[in-house]
Amino acid sequence: MSDDNNSCIYLDYNGTTPIYEEVYESMIPYFKIHFGNPSSTHHYGSAPRNAIENARMDVSKLLNSMQEEDECISIEDVVSGIIFTGCGTEADNLAISLAIKSYKGKEVPNVITTSVEHPAILEYLKLYESRKEIEVTYLPVNHQCLVSVNDVERHIKSTTCLITIMYANNEIGSIMPIPEIAEKIRQYNKHNSNQILFHTDAAQAIGKVSSISIKNVHMMTLVGHKIGAPKGVAALYICRELLTQNNKYSGILLGGGQEKGYRAGTENVAYIVAMGKAASILQQTQKQNIEFFLTLVSKLKSLFLFHLGKDNLCIHSPSIDKCLSNTLSIGIKNIHSGLLLHSIRGKVAASAGSACHSSSSCDHIQISPVLKAMNVPTIYAVGTIRLSVGVNTTLLDVENAVKIIVDEVKSQWKCKKYNDK
């Protein structure tokens, strides 16, 4: 997709997605007509209140549609567990908070996570860790940015209250073995008195993988602006068992008790409606979207290999069956990704890693913590870019973007300014 004003090709769908036109139109009545407070019992509160519940159902239907037949959880149970939040960060924070509050042991609780999680997980855990309220086990990943199921199981302690592992990595696109980890936790909980909760941040996975398993997952984060809704709305799915265990008003925002007490504050009706509409659209289109994404990413990969040569490239993203359908992360030898992206910023919009914490500086080499965790050689790590396609990307966009990037890479090579020393 190119911007009409400056023809900049957008290849950063993992950063955020444009809002679908139908989604935008669905929001308007809740700004202009149905403006009432959904907590109000009078006439003006009924339409907003019903709209929120309809959106909750649409998000639930999307999740349910992505289950394998033998894993299907009743739609009623999914609907009851959808808690709308203001963003994915809040949903992640809420999941961690709920797990810690649910811990019944006398010793300091343990949390298991990976070294490549989103900052919404890592920074919140570090806060609790700094207060000595929890102990955190940070698991490594392999060269494909995948965590080992056996590694997870081996590090479980009698004090472990939470395991939180992202469904798919936002930088590399690697899909974690979530169903297998969930089954290991189920088996552990079956034979032990201390119960471990399992949370996964599925912000990047929804709409980019053919199936999402919520079987044996206690909490799952979903984010609106990753699926065609605006920034400012997300959801945390909480399984029925956990909902019944927790007391009312156990969230991190306390007040009027909205969202079953898990997220107080007057609901952002228009944005919740938008997330529901985006989920409804995605339920109908995700299969063909994924097939289309795979074609585009395959083209990206083949063009880079043809123009730059395999000896000058390090493809970080794993094979198709273990990677998001829309994502390609590559390291280009003897290139500074910050300078590269700065030079093409008006022509191609891409990322050096996660948009939430990438540096815009061109004179300071900052290697992504994810690439460090994967032990990517520095010569490729400093030249890493992430390209992520979406529903509006065209084959022509891909071809033109590669030409622009390749031309700039060859220009940098020619001036030899950033050659490996």
Within 8 A by CB and 6+ apart from 407, the residues are: none
Q: Give, for 162, the enclosing helix (H) or strand (E).
A: strand 160-164
Answer yes or no: 314 catalytic.
no
Q: Any alpha helices (H) in 66-158, and if so which ranges?
A: 75-80, 88-102, 119-130, 149-154
Buried b (16+ CB within 10 A) or exposed e, 72-101: ebeeebbbbbbbbbbbbbbbbbbbbbbbbe
Which of 291, 149, 128, 306 has the alpha carbon at shortest distance from 207?
291
| Beta strand spans in 244-317 (E) | 313-315
**∠ CA 239-244-249, rounded to 5°:** 100
Task: Say which DSSP state 198 is in.
Answer: E
Contact of 235 with 272, CB cutoff 8 Å:
no
10 Å Cβ neighbour count for 40?
A: 12
Tokens 């033998």 label which residue? Answer: 70
- Look at strands 135-139 and 234-238 and give their pairing: unpaired
Q: Which of 8, 72, 145, 356 is catalytic?
A: 356
- List the catalytic residues: 356
